[in-house]
Amino acid sequence: MRWSQYFLPTLREDPKDAEAVSHKLMVRAGLIRRLGSGAYSYLPFGLRALRKAIAIVREEMDRAGAQELLLPALQPVELWKATGRDEVLGEVLIRFTDRTGKEMALGPTHEEVVTDLLAEVKSHKQLPVTVYQIQTKFRDEPRPRSGVIRSKEFLMKDAYSFDVSPEGLTASYQAMYDAYQRIFSRCGLTVLACEADPGMMGGELSHEFMAPADSGEDQVVRCAGCGYAANLDAARCPEPRATSLEPREVSKPLEVVKTPGQHTVEQVSRFLKVPASKLIKTLLYEAGETPVAVLVRGDHDVNESKLARAVGSARLKMASAQMIERVSRAPVGFTGPVKLDGVRLLADHAVMGVVNGVAGANQPEAHLIHVNPGRDFTPSLVADLRVITGADPCPGCGKRLQFIQAIEVGHVFKLGTKYSQALHAVVQDEAGSAKPMIMGCYGIGINRILASAIEQRHDKDGIIWPVSLSPFHVLVTVMEANQAEPLQAGEQALEALTAAGFEGLLDDRPQSPGSKLKDADLIGIPVRVVVGKAWQAGRQLEVSLRATKESTTVSPQSLVEAVHTLLQKVSDTSQSGKGV
């Protein structure tokens, strides 16, 4: 390919709307262009990289025994109503009415459609089956951002497994989990397989594959000791164990103290001179008929995912000021658990360890001191209901945890029978009785593979592609492309490399040498061949690696060998993920 005729426009300036480094580089290196909010065009250079990611995903899905199919993006909303997910997705689901008046949607994911399709299977003998597709999804995201990392239209690989038994599901899940590890490793990505909250999908077990990156919207915790990794929403806080070494404070009688104008944890803690860990925060939520009051320590935060699971409702809403005032009979900021009637009282484990604590008095401008859980109030449920903090030990081994920003590139779920029950996907088992199929679903964001690879592999000058995703293997830059002789040398180099099976791009543009070298760094092709000074001096080519800038000079006859050696070198690091 000759750059002079290739639609690969590069930019010196960062786009104004971009914050994430991958977004900036993808635009500047001519991979993508924005059409509108959350919609991007892939230019030829970007599409080559996208196709490489797709090929790796497809190979590994096939190797894991999954069968490729293609489902329509156009779906009847009726199907979404059957599982109740039209409401769960709300405005994220892009809907419209077709010419016959039928309500339609553009698929944000395909559990409903695929379950409806597989309902044709009637016998356990036809299972297990795992199917997958690589297809455009549509989600009217409230906050599209970071270029293709969160867009409204994006490419997903989604797979679905159908089994008769829970053991079968475990095997199907494991096969996908292992395939994901191979996919991300082949893409040169460092990922953490994190325990995750199954969220809106329903189901029991789920892992998210998180690519550590500064631009990541998610936070995960990781233990360097035992390898435990979890999404912040799912990270388990171990139940505190009272150590017999610490003498327990003697409980004192409950007292009301005036705390005028002291609403927040910081204010109360300063005013009463007690650490935040002695405060008991009371938060009210609306969840169906009875409001829910949740207690966490002053130095902790409620984890709404854990709370939703404990309450058994996905529809939790912070109570309004009016509701707080009605339930607690006091202004906002003075709610407490003692004599709080008409609520379901839930407490985080850590609250139960507080001795002589401080809580709202359910009276204006007052708090209670010497509050003792068990004596002064009894929760109906004590559970892990808070967000893990830096002070918490690893739930696996007790060591210190790291907090890492990351991008979710993939997600695997054990779904169970939620969809097969709703959509009547039932098979006869061995004993002849009808059983809903047991499902799993498995997604990968293809665009996020590229963005995450760039997040993890770049320097101040541009992208450093892993060989497996790079749009081309070699860039041949002719410094003086207006002179026939060096241009011909460049063409011959490209020909030799192409004949040897490498994908090459020839920079034959009339630009200045300085600007060509800048572009070469920006677009990040792993190996660069320069027809420049060494050519003028002694008919030699300069071959170098983008990643390390290490460079050698070779004769045209040794070019293929030299390129091969350098690519080998960087492919090895990308396989082991050490290139980060």
Task: Give dist(CA 482, CA 239) in Å, integer.
Answer: 72
154 binds ligand ATP (CB under 6 A): yes
Residue 185 contacts residue 575 (beta carbons within 8 Å): yes
Q: Which residue has the tokens 């004192």?
A: 252
Q: Are 553 and 536 in contact (CB under 8 A)?
A: no
| Distance (Å) of CA 503 to CA 167, 317, 484, 521, 558 | 45, 55, 23, 18, 17
Token pair belonging to 193: 């397989």
In contact, 545 and 573? CB cutoff 8 Å:
no
The partner in contact with residue 360, picked from ligand ATP, Mg ion, none with C-beta cut-offs of 5 to 8 angstroms by kind, is none
Enumerate the β-bridge partners of residue 411. 208, 443
Q: What are the backbone dihedrals phi and psi of residue 528, each rounded to the nearest 5 degrees, phi first?
A: -120, 135
Selected binder of ligand ATP within 18, 26, 32, 156 (CB under 6 A): 156
Residues that bind Mg ion (rule: CB under 5 A) add up to a total of 1
Residue 137 in the binding site for Mg ion (CB under 5 A): no
**What is the sign, positive or negative, of the torsion defined by CA atoms of 424, 288, 296, 389?**
positive
Residue 203 binds what, of ligand ATP, Mg ion, none (CB under 5 to 8 Å, by partner type)? none
* Residue appearing with tokens 């309004």: 320
User: What is the smallest separation between the CB atom of 70 and ligand ATP, expressed in angstroms?
Assistant: 17
β-strand pairing of 39-42 with 357-360:
unpaired
Cβ-based nearer residue to ligand ATP, 38 or 466: 38
Say which amino acid occupies 491: E
Q: Which residue is nearest to Mg ion (CB)?
A: 411
Q: Name which of Mg ion, ligand ATP, none residue 139 binds, using a CB cut-off of 5 to 8 Å depending on partner kind.
A: ligand ATP
Residue choice 408, 455, 508, 542 for contact with ligand ATP (CB under 6 A):
408
Residue 253's φ and ψ, nearest 5 degrees, are -70, 145
Asked if residue 473 binds Mg ion (CB under 5 A), the reply is: no
**Residue whose CB is less far from ligand ATP, 136 or 378:** 136
Restricting to residues 121-140, name those near ligand ATP by CB under 6 A.
Answer: 139
**Cis before 331? omega within 30:** no
Please say which residue, 141 or 461, places its beta carbon nearer to ligand ATP: 141
150 binds, options ligand ATP, Mg ion, none, Cβ within 5 to 8 A by partner type: ligand ATP
Q: How far is the CB of 291 from ligand ATP (least distance, A)?
A: 28
> Cβ contacts of residue 292 below 8 Å, gap of 6+?
284, 285, 286, 307, 311, 316, 343, 344, 346
The interface with ligand ATP within residues 105-124 (CB under 6 A) comprises 109
In the complex, least distance from residue 310 CB atom to Mg ion, rounded to whole angstroms: 21
Answer for which of 306, 386, 411, 528 binds ligand ATP (CB under 6 A) is 411
CB-nearer residue toward ligand ATP: 211 or 494: 211
Q: How many positions of this chain bind ligand ATP (CB under 6 A)?
A: 15
Coarse DSSP helix, strand, coil percentages of the chain, rounded to the nearest 5 percent:
30, 30, 40
In the complex, minimum distance from the CB of residue 446 to ligand ATP, in angstroms, rounded to a whole number:
8
Q: Select from 151-159, 250-258, 512-520, 567-575 the region that touches ligand ATP (CB under 6 A).
A: 151-159
Cβ 526 vs Cβ 545: under 8 Å: yes
C-alpha–C-alpha distance, residues 525 and 218, integer Å = 29
- The three-class DSSP label of residue 288 is coil
- Block residue for tokens 């050519």: 535
CB of 445 to ligand ATP, least distance (A): 2
Contact stretch for ligand ATP (CB under 6 A) within 405-413, 496-504, 523-531, 557-565: 405-413
Q: Which of 85, 139, 281, 411 binds Mg ion (CB under 5 A)?
A: 411
State which H helix or E strand residue 421 sits in.
helix 418-422
- Residue of 141, 239, 325, 365 that binds ligand ATP (CB under 6 A): 141
Tokens of 16: 């104004």
Q: Give the dihedral of Cα atoms 148, 151, 157, 158; nearest 10 deg.
A: 160
Question: Measured from the CB atom, is 45 or 154 closer to ligand ATP?
Answer: 154
Instruction: Restricting to residues 431-490, name those near ligand ATP by CB under 6 A.
Output: 443, 445, 447-448
Q: Which stretch binds Mg ion (CB under 5 A): 25-33, 37-45, 404-412, 502-510?
A: 404-412
The span of 18-26, 282-290, 407-415, 523-531 binding ligand ATP (CB under 6 A) equals 407-415
Q: Which residue, 143 or 241, is less far from ligand ATP as judged by CB?
A: 143
- 545, with CB counted inside 10 A (0-12, 13-18, 19+), is middle
Q: Stretches 120-128, 279-287, 364-372, 408-416: which one binds ligand ATP (CB under 6 A)?
A: 408-416
Q: Which residues contact 306 (CB under 8 A, 6 or more apart)?
A: 197, 233, 383, 384, 385, 386
CB of 139 to ligand ATP, least distance (A): 5
DSSP letter string over 10-40? --SSPPTT--SHHHHHHHHTTSEEEEETTEE
- The one of Mg ion, ligand ATP, none whose footprint includes residue 172, by CB under 5 to 8 A per kind, is none
C-beta closer to Mg ion: residue 207 or 411: 411
CB of residue 110 vs ligand ATP: minimum separation in angstroms? Answer: 10
Site string for ligand ATP, 198-237 (x = CB under 6 A): ----------------------------------------
CA–CA separation, 467 and 287 (whole Å): 51
Q: Among 128, 168, 410, 532, which residue interacts with ligand ATP (rule: CB under 6 A)?
A: 410
Indicate the Cα dihedral angle 210, 214, 215, 219, nearest 10°: 50
Binding partner of 445, given ligand ATP, Mg ion, none, CB within 5-8 angstroms per partner class = ligand ATP
Q: Which residues bind Mg ion (CB under 5 A)?
A: 411
Q: Which residues bind ligand ATP (CB under 6 A)?
A: 109, 139, 141, 150-151, 154, 156, 408-411, 443, 445, 447-448
